Amino acid sequence: MSINKDIVMQNVQRFGGAMFTPVILFSFFGIMVSLSIIFKNPDIVGSIATKGTFWYNVWYVIEQGSWTVFAQMPLLFAISLPIGLAKKNQARACMESFVIYVVFNYFVSGILTLAGPSFGVDYSLKAGGGTGLAMIANIKTLDIGMLGAILISAITVWLHNRLFDVDLPDYLGIFKGSSLVVAAGFFFMLPVAYFFCLVWPSVQHTIGTFQEFLKASDALGVWMYTFCERILIPTGLHHFIYTPFIFGPAIVDGGIQQYWLQHLQDFATSAQSLKEMFPGAGFSLHGSSKIFGVPGIALAIYATAKPAKKKAVAGLLIPATITAVICGITEPLEFTFLFIAPVLFAVHAVLAATLAATFFLFGVVGSFGGGLIDAIVQNWIPLFKYHSTTYIMQIVVGLCFTAIYFFVFRYLIVKNDYKTPGRTEDDAEDKLYSKAEYKAKIAMEGMINVDERDIKAAVFLGALGGKENIKDVTNCATRLRVTVVDDSLIKGVSTFTKAGAHGLVKNGHAVQVIVGLSVPQVRERFEALLQDTSDAETASGTDKSTTLKAFISGKVIPITKVKDEMFSQKMMGDGIAVYPETEIVTAPADGEITMVMDGSGHAVGMRLSSGVEILIHIGIDTVKMEGRGFNVFVKQGQKVKAGETLVKFDKKLIEKEGYSSIVILAVTNSSEYPLMKLYSGMTAKADETVIATF
């Protein structure tokens, strides 16, 4: 069987992007742990931080909460990866992943309880470092860390994508959806658990050997690691380099960042060299170029710009440089020169690796994977008292590298006449623009009141070949990651950059649009356009994928004003209600009938083609009428079109018998649609008035 390299690359990039989903939380929690340790240190804040004081106790409690993501890292990865990997119903996939991951650990626990010695595991030991055991969700199990969580999550997503929509016979209906996925996962985990019990102890031994090799490789190992991490950024595969080091077992159990924070108090009260106390933290110097290298690059680009363009170039570089230095997000700046002169990016990777290795040789180690905020809070402030010489040396050496970056980049730009920003020709590119591109240009200039993210989504979709050319889409920190059907339909980089992108990465059918920090919002609008059945050219006004039209004519009110707590408290989901002027209920969109209330006919359930699930409920307490006055025109499993008649009812009879005839629409899975917009207060006309967008 041949292996399609395009498909492999698409899946690898998608997986790498998904791994960023939980990683985004680590910076905040790392800063909070660091601040807690700082404010509990009497050497920094004085006697108020003495153990037992109110100040100390407050920060002690805050610190315990701040350890959340580090203490529960495997669970976090198991739960959050489906957000980026599952193709639909991501929220349910997250629940499925959690349950299956816990089942896996219970199976491992059971196997080791009965036969631990047979697998080379002493299960009687207390879980902790060096034992090969860990506590996961209060289960003593093998210490597989985030790698095991990622694997189980990936298996869950594979099962979810294949089984979630399987249509079972009615008598097995209770096992549809998540129940079927979890049931399959339950039995799948038996051999997986046995496999891990069989092989993981040997893997742990191999990891230990690898750790010793990396530690012994000294500065060369730091150089190689940092170079690989930087050079792979254009491919989006750098997540696979740093994640096992920073958050996984490559250097220490639990990852470098967790170990660093756990021992920060020890480092803060010892004058011993940081490098001697924890040499493995040298592999967390890969972010040093964000603080010291990026300003040199920006200065070189500015210095080589034409005098008439320097002001405009400064406007481009300053925010990108500040973002890189403070937050550690370097891609917006790096992609301003990557496609113009890829050799500059290679030089950047070499210099970044050399900077990290030089720091290590000077005794600098620590948590420097992010930007200036991480450097200050997790290193300089808590440790400066006993390690001031190390950090002063770091700043001096770092500024020297800023100068090196500047002169090297300036020399290469001028010598090779690279057309970096500010060095392009004065005349603009002549081309015909699509209507969407024109709108994008106008919007970027602030001439019309249009959400810039709506425009970007529309232009990117068109430039990627349109809806029919998109297989799937996800995102990481700054990139919109898309798999296309035909890569020849993708337009040139300039089309994307004119709409506000920082660049484009193409790997066959796997494409990455470098958007910036607004990428989650752009992705939502991009997906809205993918699922929208209208011919709209932008996502403006359609923050999600579905439009619902009035299912009956009448006065529309919010569901919270319905005089029934089940609906007004949104127990059935968010929605709206209509005081009916007519007596025919129609389908608000295309979909499938999932439920008809037998006997009474007063309620109908639908699953729309986009995945939205709704319940239409006619009247309050009308179930007591036992079907009198109701005529149902559909049955369970039937496919219906928008506007098709679902139920006719006798409004006068309902009211004559003392019941309210209000008709309620509840979106029963509304929690999956945070951008859902419901419209009320108007008099709606059936099949015409829009009552909800997603």
H-helix segments, 376-463: 381-416, 435-444, 452-463
Burial class (CB in 10 A: 0-12, 13-18, 19+), 210: middle
What pLDDT sits at residue 4?
Answer: 52
| Element of type H or E holding 524 | helix 519-531
Task: State residue 106's pLDDT score.
Answer: 96
Residue 22: which of 84, 64, 67 has the closest Cα? 84
Identify the pLDDT of residue 432: 31
**Helix axes of 218-231 and 239-246: crossing angle, nearest 10 degrees:** 140
Mean pLDDT score, 404-430? 78
Contact 366, 319 (CB under 8 A): no
Give the mean pLDDT of 494-500: 78
* Cβ neighbour number for residue 557 with a 10 Å cutoff: 16
Confidence grade of residue 540 (pLDDT, cut at 50, 70, 90): very low
Rank 138-147, 354-363, 481-490 by mean pLDDT and report only the highest. Answer: 354-363
- Cβ atoms within 10 Å, residue 88: 13
The residue that leads in pLDDT, 55 or 670, is 55
| Least confident stretch, 197-201, 453-457, 480-484 | 453-457
**How confident is the prediction for the chain on average, in pLDDT?**
82
Region 297-309 average pLDDT: 88
Q: ∠350-222-289 over CA atoms, to 5°? A: 50
* pLDDT at residue 18 is higher than 70: no
| Amino acid occupying residue 403 | A
Name the more confident of 335 and 187.
Answer: 187
Whether the per-residue pLDDT at 437 is higher than 80: the answer is no
Grouping H, G, I as helix, E, B as strand and the rest as coil, residue 80 is: helix
Q: What is the dihedral of CA 517, 519, 521, 524, to 10 degrees?
A: -170
109 band by pLDDT with thresholds 50, 70 and 90:
very high
* Least confident span in 458-462, 674-678, 689-693: 674-678
Q: How far apart are CA 58 and CA 39, in angstroms?
A: 10
Return the closest-CA partner of residue 545 out of 480, 457, 605: 457
For the chain, how many helices (H) and strands (E)? 26, 20
Cβ atoms of 357 and 365 closer than 8 Å: no
- Structure tokens given for 370: 């992010």
Catalytic residue status for 476: yes
Residue 426's pLDDT is 56
The answer to whether residues 460 and 501 touch, using CB atoms and an 8 Å cutoff, is yes
Residues 201 and 600: their CA atoms lie apart, in Å, by 61
Please report the pLDDT score of residue 91 as a whole number.
83
- Strands 547-549 and 690-693 come out as antiparallel
- Residues 410/300, Cβ–Cβ less than 8 Å: yes
Confidence at residue 343, expressed as pLDDT on a 0 to 100 scale: 86
Condensed to tens digits (0 to 9), the pLDDT of residues 379-401 reads 998 899 899 999 999 999 999 99
Residue with tokens 């349910």: 92
Burial of residue 158, with CB atoms counted within 10 A of its CB: 0-12 exposed, 13-18 middle, 19 or more buried = middle
8-state DSSP, 512: E
Query: Would you state the pLDDT for residue 236?
Result: 59
* Enclosing H/E stretch for 665: strand 663-667
pTM: 0.55
Q: Return the structure tokens found at 11.
A: 């899946």
The SS3 assignment for 435 reads helix
Look at residue 98 and tell me whether its pLDDT is greater than 90. Answer: yes
In sequence order, the β-bridge partners of residue 134 are: 141
Query: How far apart (Å, rounded) are the C-alpha atoms in residues 405 and 399?
Result: 10
Does residue 232 register a pLDDT over 60?
yes
Q: Who wins on pLDDT, 447 or 327? A: 327
